[in-house]
Amino acid sequence: MKDKNVRIKDIASKANVSAGTVDRVLHNRGRVSEKVKEKILKIIKEMDYEPNLMARALGSNKVFRFATLIPDEQFDSYWHAPRIGVLKASKEVKQFGVQVTEFLFNPYDVNSFIEQANLVTEQQVDGVLLSPIFYREVLPFLEKWKSDKIPFVLFNTQIADYEPLSYIGQDSYQSGLLAGKLMHYGLPNPCSILIAHFDEDISNAAHLKKKEQGFRNYFAQGQIGQKYRLDKIELNSSNFSSFIKQLEDAIENISDLEGIFVTTSKAFEIASYLKQRRIKNIKIVGYDLLPKNVHFLNTGEISFLINQNPKGQGYWGIQHLANHLVFKKDVQKLKYLPLDIITKENVNYFLDDEDESAYLGFI
């Protein structure tokens, strides 16, 4: 039987039961005696039966409505890539009756998030993909969707306590540890390092707190912690004069500043400032392959970027919902994407690779 596709009627014939009985066992519905069920399950295993889930989904008339609740890229260009991943996955699963509706919010306005999350709840969708960047405000919605048995997939920020169907993204703590290791290379000692958060209420941004914790813990180990002093700053890039004043004060007050760790995708903001001020020899480690970040990586103002694979996060989020709801497959509770270290020497391999799978975590 290994040389051909195994059909339900093949299993039924070997078990000496009807095809309907095999179908009830496969879908765990209807009445089947334990003895017959065990016999059928044993034969299924022996015959290496694999159901044609795609054909079954194509033959179904059911419509599955997914909602994506993500920040609007008009406010922050980082969110363009997750949206591209969502759109790619949405096209792939559309033929199986999946309809994906976008709900976009302002990532700097918590009321905008609450408004869009309420709209998602009112729509009574079958599944939700979201980036829960507002930790406190998202919890009541997660509780509501969990109570209503609506599966939700989280990306970018992990919240395990509310039992999401899946989390897709990097391990933020390990990401911070890696950033610490990259920062440590080549630094004189002793010196000071600045941890820079951008445009976030850090007390309400779990993923950034974990990055900072990982970074600090790297420098706390062994004798390393005795050689480096870590400072922190929370920057507001939307107010240019305030942003410049904050940076100026930090640089003037930290005489031995040799490194800046940017916990978001906005390393280019600091790189641009340092270049305009002709301040050299400050090492910058940041995140993501935004065009401006890549520019300063190539010119040397940024030393390292950690690629968070945002396109893959959006893509796999939709795929996990489809696998669970449409194809009835088990999905990974945690899908950690690689911690890609990007330098000016290898950045073109990520940007010029026409094989899109490189951006979706297949490598």
Is a pLDDT exceeding 70 seen at residue 353? no
Is a pLDDT exceeding 50 seen at residue 334? yes
pLDDT band at 358 (very low <50, low <70, confident <90, very high): very low
CB count within 10 Å of CB 236 equals 13
Same domain, 129 and 44: no
pLDDT at 140: 97
For position 45, which CATH number holds? 1.10.260.40
Same domain, 135 and 220: no
- The answer to whether residue 359 is domain-embedded is no
Same domain, 198 and 105: no
Residue with tokens 């044609």, as numbered in its chain: 52
- The answer to whether residue 20 is domain-embedded is yes
Average pLDDT over residues 123-139: 95
Q: Strands, DSSP E only, in 244-355?
A: 257-262, 283-287, 304-307, 334-336, 340-342
Is a pLDDT exceeding 70 seen at residue 321? yes
Is a pLDDT exceeding 90 seen at residue 190? no
Average pLDDT over residues 106-123: 96
pLDDT band at 54 (very low <50, low <70, confident <90, very high): low
Of 42-51, 200-209, 245-254, 352-361, which has the strongest mean pLDDT? Answer: 245-254
pLDDT at 216: 96
- The answer to whether residue 288 is domain-embedded is yes
Same domain, 135 and 91: yes
Six token digits for residue 97: 């009756």
Task: Please give the residue that has the higher pLDDT: either 252 or 58.
Answer: 252
Same domain, 13 and 129: no
Q: What is the number of structural domains in the chain?
A: 3
Same domain, 177 and 303: yes
DSSP structure class, residue 159: -
Q: What are phi and psi of 157, to 5 degrees?
A: -130, 125
Same domain, 182 and 34: no
The residue segments making up the domain with residue 288 are 172-307
| Whether 207 contacts 158, CB under 8 Å | yes
Same domain, 103 and 230: no
For position 231, which CATH number holds? 3.40.50.2300
pLDDT band at 202 (very low <50, low <70, confident <90, very high): confident
Tell me what percent of the residues of the chain surpass a pLDDT of 90.
63
- The answer to whether residue 276 is domain-embedded is yes
Tell me which H or E stretch contains 177: helix 172-184
Average pLDDT over residues 59-72: 87
Same domain, 178 and 303: yes
Is a pLDDT exceeding 50 seen at residue 362? no
